[in-house]
Structure formats: C-alpha cells, structure tokens
Structure 1
Amino acid sequence: MGGQVSSVDGVHVVVVGGGFGGVAAAQQLKSQALNFTLIDMRDAFHHNVASLRASVQPGFARRTFIPFADTFGDSFVQGRVERVDINRQTVVLQGGREVQFSHLILCTGTDGPFPGKFNTEASYQSSVQTYEDFTKQVQAADSVVVVGGGSTGVEMAAEIKTEHPEKKVVLIHSRIALADPELLPSVRHQAKEVLLQKGVELLLGEKVNNLSQLQLNVTNKNTEVTTERGETLTTDLIVRCTGLKVNSAAYDSSFSASMADNGALKVNQHLQVQGFTNIYAVGDCADVKEPKMAYHAQLHAAVAVSNIVNSLRGKELTSYHTGNVTMLLAMGRDDGVGQFNGFKLPRCAVVLGKSRDLLLWKSWREMKQQQP
C-alpha cells in the first residue's frame, strides 16, 4: 500500500467486527498511522478456523482466543453495535455509547450454531471455558450425530473421530455430495473417502425430521433422531453444523436499501456499500459471489483500507476481483483435503499447510503476541 499516511484531521475509521476481516483492517490502519476504533462484542479475537479442534481437544481453546487490547490498546472497544446512524456518522453501541466515524468498515461476518460459531458477548476466560465444557460433553458421549455435511460438518465429524476413534460418529447430510459446492468434485469425493477411512458413518440425501425438538451440544444417552424418510437413529450427542446466516443485526435498520435478500450488503468493485463512498463491507457480510472464508475476508480488508488511503490521497481506487477457489479442509490433525487456485492438492500438503496447527501461528504472529 506504500508509505504511511500521516494522521489526517477529522479522519477516524471505525471497524465493526473483530473477525479475520476486521482484525486485518485494524492492523493495516494501524500500520498506516490512521486513527481507528475496532469494535467487537468479545474482548478477544476468535480464530474460529480452529474452533472445531477446540471443541474436541481439552486445553486447545485457550490458543484460539487472542486478546484485542494487547494488540490494539485504546483503539479497541468492547461492545455490541445496535445500529449505525448514517446522518450523524456514528456507531451506536448497546448502552448508548456512540463512536463517531469519517469512514466505516463493516465486518460483521456470519452467525451460526456453536461450536463452529461463537458470536456471543464474552470474556476471554468465559469463551475458553465454553469450549472446555463442550469437550466434556463429547468425552461423555459414546455416539455422536453431526447434522450437516457442508465443510463445517465434514471437519467436525473428522475431528471427533480423530480425537475419539472409539466413538460412533454419524454424519447426516441433506445432499449426496459433501463439503462446499465451490470445491472440485474430486476434492469433495476425497473428503467422503477420508471420512469413511476414519470410520464415520454417512447418511446422505437425508434430513433430520425432529431437529427443532432435539437438545443440541448436551450429552443425553439414547436420544432418538428421526429422518424425513422414516429412519431412526439412537445417539448420545447431537451437533448441528447447518444454518449459517449473515450477521446483519448491527446495520439492518440503516442499510435496508443496500442489502441483498440474505442480509449481505451490496458492494461495488471497490467494496463500497451501495450508495456510499465512505462505508465499506468486508468478509461474509459483503455480497460477493465467492465462498465465505477467512482468507477472502483478509483480502477484502486490504482493498477497503487501500481505498480509504487512496481516497485521502486523491488516488484511483483499487478493485477487488474474485479468483480461483483456494480451500483447505482440515479433517483432524492428521489428514485433510483441498485445492489451491483451482488445483487439487495432495492430502499431505493440506496436513502441513493447515491441519496440524490450523493456521494459529499466523493469527498470533499478525496480532504480535506469543502463543501460549
């Protein structure tokens, strides 16, 4: 992005959401010496790429949360954003606090069921404890049903079976093909082969009939799960890995005219929200046709911050272009499948690239903190 922009009077960038995109934006704003405030409802960044490992491996969760204040100091504010006042250019937090902005970067991400997602107001200690408590539920269960065979469900089933090979694990998926539709068919088939090799039982082309009546994430021995085709399974623990939705609560009252049907914000090629030149959407809440991934959120953040800097310098704005899909699925610490730039990768390369450490080293390095 070139040299620093010395702090400009009246410039204050507010970043809403401290996920991968928000942290990347804050880091780049900091390196540019621009005034900014990062707002998140937790006091620690959640490296949720590793959340599934943290839900099966005791002691792992503390490595997946990184305190914001240690990196960003007074530029971090903990709170839940209730709305954006466009006319007054303020972000309004629960409790009434207001934060003024000249530029706004919305990085609110997606929400979904625990343990894959953990979008809750929480401290570092309570966040870690929530995952530690869940590992005990997994340990207490002799059998587990994972509902949903997208990428999260595939990784969840593999993590449980890797950590607890003695447990019966059944994956129920409404479609025949597993994992993300953006993946090469050969990679999706390979994910199925890895699950079968690990001993995961697959029930494909089936939907759970009584999911709304079932207690999730708590071990209840001999719970009955029924499918729409009339099959009945008995299990001790049910983990749901379906139902991701765009987390639009912070902005939906102010940006309804700029929202897509799924709650994401419509953006132009510069990632500016439709109708605004000083407001950007980054990551999962941006209506960009590509898989929702941490990697893409970080690329978006670079474009958004570049464009804030370029606008201040009177330079031409940068455009964001989608590329060939790069996606790695960690299937336990000892296996994985994936592709790089549209080309299938050897499983051993995925293990080295992601599965062993789940890229935790990268987040700790970027936050300039020491991993415990």
Structure 2
Amino acid sequence: MSTPPAEQNMSKFKNIVIVGASSAGQQLANYLSPSLPTTHRIILIDALDYAFWPIASLRAAVVPGWEKRITVPLSQETVFPKNSNHKLVVPNKVVELKENSIVLEKLFEGSNEVPFFKCILSTGAQQPSPMRPPADSSKQGYHDVLIKTQGEIKQAQKIVIIGGGAVGLEMAGEIRANYPDKSITIVHSLSSVLHPQATAPDPKGKAHSYSSPPTLPKLSVTLEKLLADSKIDLILNDKVEIPAEQTSAEDWSGSFGLQDGVKKVKLQSGKTLEADYVFVSIGNKPNVGLVQQADKDALISGMVGVDEYLRVTSENSQSPLTKNYYAIGDCCSTPGWKTYMGADYDAKGCSVNIINEIKGKALKKYVRPSLAAMMIPLGPEKGSGTLTFPVAGTWQVPGGMVRAAKGGNLLLSQLFYPRFKGEKKVTAGM
C-alpha cells in the first residue's frame, strides 16, 4: 500500500515525472530543464545510481580498463545544475503506474507515491550482461562482471558467437582486435549478417505497430568481407541448437560464457563446432513490465504504443495510461532503429509537447527525422556503416568514417559525458 503524497510538494510544484534515466530520459530532462516555468519541476527516477554507456559495453567486456570508462555516477550534482528545483531520485524503483501518480519502492519526500502533471516512460530496453548491468547491480558489481568477462575471454581459445546482428559482429571485432590468434566463429540464422530484410509488422495489424527497418544489403556484404579479412569464420543460414541439459562430458551444456574445457556445439544443419567460450548476442528487449502490469492493451509489438504526439495509446477505453502518459526511446513504438540518435529525437519531440501542455497550446505532431546512422565498428580500426538522408536515401559510408566517428572512443566524449549537465564535471573513471 502506498503512502499518501506529501501535501507540501503537491501544492508547491507540478511534477514532470520521467521514469528511467536512460539516454532518452536524461536527454528529455536536459531539453525540458531550461524551458520549464518555476511552477513545474522534473522528477527523474532510476533504479540504478549510475549511468552506463551500452555502445561501449562490448569493448569494456574485452579490454581491461574500459569498464571504468563506461559508467558515471547518477547524482544531483552530475545531472542537474546547482540550486535546481529538479530532483534525481536514485536508486529507486517505480512499482506501479496510476492515472495521476506513480508508486515508488522507497520513500521520496516522505511518501512513496508521487503525483504528477505528466509522466514520461523512458524505461529503455533489457539485455543480458555484459551488454547491460545485471538487475540491481552496483557500479562496482557491474565492473566486476566486465572484469570477469575480460578474464574469461583472455583464457578462451575457441569462441562461438551465436547471432550475426550488430552485437555479435561488434563482439567478434573487439575480440579479434585484442587477440589475433583466437578462433572465432559467428553462427547466424539469415543468409547475410545483420537483417537486410524488413521484420514482419504486428500480426494483428494494429495502428502504430513497430517493425524493425531493414539494413542496407551492401553493408552486409562489406562486413562479411571484413570478417573474412580478420579471419573470423561465418556460418550463415544455420542455427545453434541450445540443449536443455548436458548429454555427455564432451557436449555443450547450453550454458554461456567460459566452458570447463572444449565442448561440441551442435548446429541444426548437423555440423559440429568446438568451443570453450560461447557468447549469445541477444538484441534489445523493450523494458515494458510496468505497462504490462498497468494495462497490457497499451502494448503493441511488445512495445509501449504511442500516437503521433508520443502519448501512450491503448485499446482499453478505461486505461489509466492514456490521459497523462508519454513514452519515448527503446521502450516505445516510434519507428526506426532503436539507437541513441532515435532516443534523442524522441526526447526532443516529447519536450516540445510537454511544454505545449503546460502552456495550454495545441500539441505538435511528432515525425522522427529521417537522418539516421548505422555504424558497426569491428574493433577500433575496422568497420562499416550507413547514413540515411532525407530524400537521398541510405548510403554506405567508408570504414575510415566509422573509425573516426565511433570506432576510437565509441562516442563517450561526444555523446555520453556531455549529457551530464550538473555542476560536477563528468570524466572517465569517476
């Protein structure tokens, strides 16, 4: 049972609650902060007391020292300017979404229920470690996971990577850049790496359904050549059979990570690979548990459905979420790739409508800009990518551009550290 909201703060401020200090959530706070009237304040909530940079997590899982570069403390001093009325609430979890308030696991300002003027869901996505921290892990706990993975990869000699999407390719590239003599094999179920074919839309044909856009076929061809040049083996049109249990000492048990010796990994085609390390490259899974709990009819294609204004939609006319909730970033059904650029677009578009709501103005339809980038580094020196332009379409970019734009420091100094606007300067290794 929730504790009644604190009366003093209910009357003093109208709260703009942001659930999740993800890239989208923190950028939304940055866009809103300079424009909010003094009658309103931001309440930014996250389950962790540190931010992490998923774009660099694979390198941090391979290269010692990088684990300290990809995390930054989430604190009032790093996030908001000095003497700001806005509040960072960490570590704390939202456990329930109500029509006009959210319920927290731990007390905030004497209550675990926070009323709001508007609430924005930016809960991001889920991935297993090392791509993202284990649930409820401390910053040191996440560092320990990455350091353990570094040691296991160093020890391994025969590595099998399940999945040839962006995660699998980048992991293979990072390992090869640091260990030129290890055996690396990628197994991918499609006829080429990435996904040059469009994903099928929502089977129910709902409005605002999401389907992942296809990648440029030429990009797949270039990346496959780079893999071959790097002596990374690639098996296409095949799948790894993941056993429920170990059938013999020499067979793979289905566990991921470092094995207790070289194991036989079986494929659906009948082929057998040898591996002493198995990595599964799972993509993002939208983090929508709170919405599932509040109103499952607000989910479309496994994401939070939003309309042309980024407001949450539902097939349930009695939904508690359709009046005062917005959703942005990886958790919602906005079109396009789920990337940092897309999250930033969503945050900027949402900020315009939150300000319009405060001022009593008409909402502005959100159309995500068509400029988009898909950069796939294979370690610091190799890679390829595409840029999508309005009207001109999608074009492949040379590897040198990928190396310069992303491969070197994986956008830490360009995008991650600068998003912290507090009085305490953010640097690597904090």
Normalised by the length of structure 1, the TM-score is: 0.92
Residue equivalent to 2:333: 287
Q: How does 1:206-285 map to 2 (within 5 A)?
A: 206-210=238-242, 212=244, 213-242=253-282, 244-262=284-302, 264-274=303-313, 276-285=322-331
**Shift of residue 118, structure 1, vs aligned partner:** 2.7
Label 1:127 to 1:31 Cα distance change in 2 as closer, same or farther (>3 A): farther
Residue equivalent to 1:338: 385
Q: How does 1:1-372 map to 2 (within 5 A)?
A: 10-33=13-36, 34-69=40-75, 70-72=77-79, 74-86=87-99, 88-93=100-105, 97-118=112-133, 120-181=135-196, 182-210=214-242, 212=244, 213-242=253-282, 244-262=284-302, 264-274=303-313, 276-322=322-368, 323-341=370-388, 342-361=394-413, 362-368=415-421, 369-372=426-429
Larger radius of gyration: 2
Letter in 2 for 1:366: R
Letter in 2 for 1:293: T
Q: Which runs of 5+ in 1 are unaligned?
A: 1-7
Aligned equivalents of 2:26, 2:195: Cα separation in 1: 25
Aligned equivalents of 1:195, 1:94: Cα separation in 2: 49
**SS at 2:364 equivalent:** coil
**Shift of residue 343, structure 1, vs aligned partner:** 1.6
Label 1:211 to 1:188 Cα distance change in 2 as closer, same or farther (>3 A): farther
Moved more, 106-115 or 292-301: 106-115
Aligned equivalents of 1:282, 1:297: Cα separation in 2: 7
**SS at 1:297 equivalent:** helix
Normalised by the length of structure 2, the TM-score is: 0.80
Letter in 2 for 1:308: I
**Shift of residue 351, structure 1, vs aligned partner:** 0.4
**SS at 1:222 equivalent:** strand
**Shift of residue 335, structure 1, vs aligned partner:** 1.2
Moved more, 247-256 or 55-64: 247-256
Aligned equivalents of 1:21, 1:180: Cα separation in 2: 25
Aligned equivalents of 2:132, 2:427: Cα separation in 1: 24
Matched residues, percent identical?
26
Q: Which runs of 5+ in 2 are unaligned?
A: 1-10, 81-86, 197-213, 245-252, 315-321, 389-393
Aligned equivalents of 2:88, 2:155: Cα separation in 1: 42
> Which string of whole-angstrom CA distances, capped at 9 and with x for unpartnered residues, describes residues 331-350 of structure 1?
11111211112221111001
**SS at 2:114 equivalent:** strand
Aligned equivalents of 2:22, 2:120: Cα separation in 1: 12
**Shift of residue 40, structure 1, vs aligned partner:** 1.6
Moved more, 60-69 or 23-32: 23-32
Residue equivalent to 2:210: none
Letter in 2 for 1:72: V
> How many residue pairs are counted as aligned between the two chains?
363
**SS at 2:265 equivalent:** strand
Label 1:180 to 1:30 Cα distance change in 2 as closer, same or farther (>3 A): farther
Letter in 2 for 1:274: T
Label 1:58 to 1:208 Cα distance change in 2 as closer, same or farther (>3 A): same
Label 1:243 to 1:334 Cα distance change in 2 as closer, same or farther (>3 A): closer
Residue equivalent to 1:5: none
Say whether the 8 Å CA contact 1:43–1:122 is kept in structure 2.
no
**Shift of residue 261, structure 1, vs aligned partner:** 3.7
**Shift of residue 260, structure 1, vs aligned partner:** 0.9
Residue equivalent to 2:5: none
Say whether the 8 Å CA contact 1:44–1:67 is kept in structure 2.
yes
**SS at 1:138 equivalent:** helix
**Shift of residue 292, structure 1, vs aligned partner:** 1.2
Label 1:180 to 1:119 Cα distance change in 2 as closer, same or farther (>3 A): farther
Aligned equivalents of 1:100, 1:225: Cα separation in 2: 53
**Shift of residue 84, structure 1, vs aligned partner:** 0.9
> Which string of whole-angstrom CA distances, capped at 9 and with x for unpartnered residues, describes residues 13-50 of structure 1?
11112221111112223333541122222111111000
